[in-house]
Amino acid sequence: MTAKLRSPHTPSPSGNATTLAATAVAVAGAATALWVNHRARVAEREHPPIGRLIDVDGVRLHFLERGAGSPVVLLHGNGVQLEDFIACGLFDRLAQRRRVIAFDRPGFGHSSRPRNHMWTPGLQALWLGKALTQLGATRPVVVGHSWGALVAMAMGLQVPEDVGGLVLLSGYYYPTARLDVPMNLPAAVPGVGDVLQHTALPILARAGLKRALRRMFAPAPVPADFLRTVPRELLVRPRQLRAAAEDTAFMIPAVTQMRREYARLRVPLTLFTGKDDRIVDPAAHTVRLYDELPRSQLRVASGGHMVHYAAPGEIADAVEALSVASAPKRLTVV
């Protein structure tokens, strides 16, 4: 029997299968990316900025401002945007007595996040400080939730003379192990992350969003109107997912460096935590920071990580107390 020789130019069946599989994956990825980017454009058209835009050294920052009096600045946590403070009612409460400025942090909502910077808490604090100077907001009380608490803390450490007080909510202050950090690292790496953010991640984010929100709000239920006030489609856009992944990746290195500076903090400080927080352990972070800073005040509220939903009145009162304490005293000459 004569063996039939294969031409060196004839692809093998396994090679054909591999090529077809690779082609199918590429086509599926391209189709997904087109759909994801279409949904992002639609979301931004249907949910335009609700506030104003300001340019700070080439970075576009979106903020909402209301009220009059001494200024209060609100900095949201990871993954959301300034509407979070509207949904919980804190923005409107504060605006009854103070000038309130809520920012979309870089990369979230309608604020930009140029790729030529590493947006650590310190760098975000620097840019937001420049924005406040442009807006003429002098010695504000800065309220930060979760990741926003790190940015607020950085502002108090960088320019304490420019900050009237800090109210930190459910913050992460010390390097402790977190499962979400290694899970988010691929999405934070340029190149690989860009592919993931335009294909698999938006789909996974949509599928897991309600579960993630339940964990954030637990043991309280997720407010029924949360995703109407904080639009879901803006939360799952590629650029917002990139910002969230980068913030998660920066978290442990940031607090590893910042913890060495806590002892020199001289800004009046009130700490809030939810006693049932399932995202950030209250004892390992908020209570520990309170013990380290004897001049700070501690408020333990019912509820979980979203403490600004559980205790907006108490937080507004704490802001008011710091606003009054930091207001310039009028000298009366008799």
Domain ranges of the chain: 44-325
Please state whether 76 falls in left (phi above 0), alpha (psi between -120 and 50) or beta. Answer: beta
Residue 194 pLDDT: 83
Identify the sign of the CA torsion 308, 142, 171, 272. Answer: negative
- CA–CA separation, 166 and 170 (whole Å): 13
- Measured at the CA of 310, the angle between CA 274 and CA 314, to 5 degrees, comes to 90
What pLDDT does 23 receive? 63
Strand partners for 141: 72, 165
**What distance in Å separates the CA atoms of residue 265 and residue 289, rounded to the nearest whole number?**
11
pLDDT in tens, the chain (334 residues): 455 555 555 556 656 666 765 565 555 557 777 878 888 899 899 999 999 999 999 999 999 999 999 999 999 999 999 999 999 999 999 999 999 999 999 999 999 999 989 999 999 999 999 999 999 999 999 999 999 999 999 999 999 999 999 999 999 999 998 878 777 777 788 888 788 888 888 899 999 999 999 999 999 999 999 999 999 999 999 999 999 999 999 999 999 999 999 999 999 999 999 999 999 999 999 999 999 998 999 999 999 999 999 999 999 999 999 987 665 443 333 2
H helical segments located in 136-260: 147-158, 180-188, 192-197, 200-217, 226-229, 232-235, 238-258
pTM greater than 0.85 (yes/no): yes
User: What totals of helices (H) and strands (E) does the chain contain, helices first?
Assistant: 14, 8
Can you give the length of the chain in residues?
334
Structure tokens at 311: 């205790």
The top-level CATH class assigned to 44-325 is alpha beta
Tell me which DSSP letter residue 261 carries. G
Give the position of tokens 């979980």. Answer: 304
The CA distances from residue 241 to 148, 224, 234, in Å, are 16, 23, 10
Please give the structure tokens belonging to residue 277.
Answer: 């927080």
What's residue 35's pLDDT? Answer: 78
- Residue 9 confidence (pLDDT): 56
3-class secondary structure, 102: strand
